[in-house]
């Protein structure tokens, strides 16, 4: 559903919002994130293992330097806060990226806006982590940019609301508890 079909009083019922990081808060460069994939390959070569690690750290650092906040994200989060709504970061990024992520949030004036920061455990799948957190942390509304993740989360949590931040131009079928937006301004206008 798009936001034109939303009950404008929905936000009066929301007490806790969680927000994804990559693609939702941190803008993609040229339509994508540029982090080096974390391939799970096993090698007996210490040299290859070190090269892989170096590439991952370097690309993550560059990724965090060049990517900027998604327009209107800060002002919308501030509006949530003004309404007394708790706001948490709920990301697929692992704890190993938490320091870099916090520095990026701080450098863009976003860190202090969050009540909680939830990172994915190294042994946990991202969607399963988000599903658990939505349930365990009493999150009423989650905002995410991954089509498959939103479909799974909404199916497993029919009593919760989700906003699909469609920055990748990947349409999803209409789902009763999922609203689709392309900008933070669309959300902010409802607040």
- Give me the tens of pLDDT residue by residue for the chain, a chain 191 residues long: 666 666 667 778 899 999 999 889 998 765 444 344 444 555 556 666 677 666 666 666 666 677 899 999 999 999 999 999 999 999 988 888 899 899 999 999 999 999 999 999 876 788 889 999 999 999 999 999 998 899 999 999 999 999 999 877 788 888 889 999 999 999 998 87
Work out the end-to-end distance of the chain between its first and last CA atoms, rounded to an integer number of angstroms: 18
- 173 and 85 within one domain: yes
pLDDT of residue 156: 92
Tokens describing residue 85: 């709504």
Tell me how many domains the chain contains.
2
Query: Are 38 and 125 in contact, with CB atoms under 8 Å apart?
Result: no
Six token digits for residue 182: 């392309």
* Residue 60: domain span: 29-66
165 and 92, same domain (yes or no): yes
Residues 164, 183: one domain?
Answer: yes
* Closest listed residue to residue 187, CA positions, set 25, 34, 50, 68: 25
Check residue 81 and give its pLDDT.
Answer: 96
**Tally: H helices and E strands in the chain:** 7, 6
């Amino acid at each position: 559903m798009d936001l034109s079909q939303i009950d404008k009083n929905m936000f009066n019922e929301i007490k806790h919002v969680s927000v994804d990081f990559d693609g939702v808060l941190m803008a993609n460069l040229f339509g994508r994130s540029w982090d080096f994939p974390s391939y799970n390959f096993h090698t007996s070569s210490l040299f290859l293992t070190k090269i892989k690690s170096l590439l991952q750290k370097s690309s993550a650092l560059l990724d965090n330097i060049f990517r900027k906040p998604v327009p209107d994200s800060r002002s919308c989060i501030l509006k949530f806060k003004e309404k007394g709504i708790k706001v948490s970061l709920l990301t697929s990024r692992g704890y190993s990226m938490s320091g870099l992520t916090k520095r990026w949030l701080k450098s863009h004036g976003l860190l202090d806006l969050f009540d909680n920061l939830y990172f994915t455990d190294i042994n946990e799948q991202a969607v399963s982590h988000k599903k658990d957190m939505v349930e365990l942390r009493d999150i009423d509304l989650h905002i995410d940019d991954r089509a498959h993740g939103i479909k799974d989360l909404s199916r497993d949590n029919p009593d919760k609301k989700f906003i699909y931040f469609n920055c990748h131009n990947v349409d999803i079928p209409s789902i009763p508890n999922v609203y689709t937006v392309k900008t933070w301004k669309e959300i902010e206008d409802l607040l």
